[in-house]
Amino acid sequence: MELIGNIIGVIEEAKEDDYAGLKVNEIVTYKKEEALKMVKFDLEKLDILFENLSSKDKNKVILAKKLHDKEIKLVNFSKGMLKKDIEYFQTLFKKITSYGRKIILVDKNSEIFLNCVDHIYVIDKEQIMYETRTIFDKYLKKYIDLPKIVEFIAKSEEQGIRLDQYTELDELLKAIYRIKS
C-alpha cells in the first residue's frame, strides 16, 4: 500500500513494537550513542531491559533503532509523551524527512498530527477507508478524538462563529480578542 507524504498520520489498530528480553544496548546497535542522544535517551539506561522502560523511553529506543531506515513506522509513539516532548519530536521528524526519509505515525493521539503530518489515512484491515490532508477535517472525528484546539474551533462554528484553522493557542486568543472587542 503506497501512502503519500513525508510525515504521514495513520489511524489504525496496529501492534506496538516489542523487544522484550533485550537490553537497550542490544536493540540499538547502529551508531548507538549518536542515535540515542538524538532521541534524548538517557545513556545511563543502556543496560535496562526493554520491558522495564517507561512508554516514553520505549518509544525513544524504537525511534533510535529505526533512525536510519528509509521508512520509519512508529506505532503509538505519543504514548507516555508530554506536549513538550511531542513538540521536540515533531521538529526532529521534519529534520529526518529532510534527509529523504519517510515517517509513518500510527497513533491514538491526534495532537501529534497537528502541525506535523502532510497526509492522514484511516486504515482498516490493510484497506484505506479514508484519507485527508488536514486534521481540521471533521469526518476524522468518527475515528479519533481531534486535537482540543480543533474541537474548540469546530464547536465555535456550531455557534455561528467562524475562526481560521489556528493551531497555536496564542493565535487563537488574538482572534477571540478581536471578535470580542
Partner 1 sequence: MKIESDKNYVILNDNIDNTFMEQFKEYPIIENLGYIDLKKKIEFFSSKTIFFKETFYYLKEEEKEEILELLIRQKINYIIITSNIEDVLFANNLVIYKDSNIVLEGNTKEILKKEKDLKKLGYGLPFVVDLSLQLNYYDIFEKVYYDIPSLVEDLWN
> Which residues contribute to the site for partner 1 (CB under 8 A)?
13, 51-57, 76, 79-85, 108-109, 144-145, 148-149, 151-152, 155-156, 158-161, 169, 172-173, 176-177, 180
CB 90 within 8 A of CB 116: yes
Of residues 38 and 143, the one with the C-beta less far from partner 1: 143
Of residues 88 and 131, the one with the C-beta less far from partner 1: 88
Least separation in angstroms between CB 7 and partner 1 = 21
Least separation in angstroms between CB 1 and partner 1 = 23
Q: Where are the beta strands (DSSP E) in the chain?
A: 7-11, 71-75, 102-106, 119-124, 127-132
| Cα separation, 112 vs 59, whole angstroms | 14
| Cα separation, 181 vs 82, whole angstroms | 34
Least separation in angstroms between CB 84 and partner 1 = 5
Q: Which three cell numbers stand for residue 22?
A: 533485550
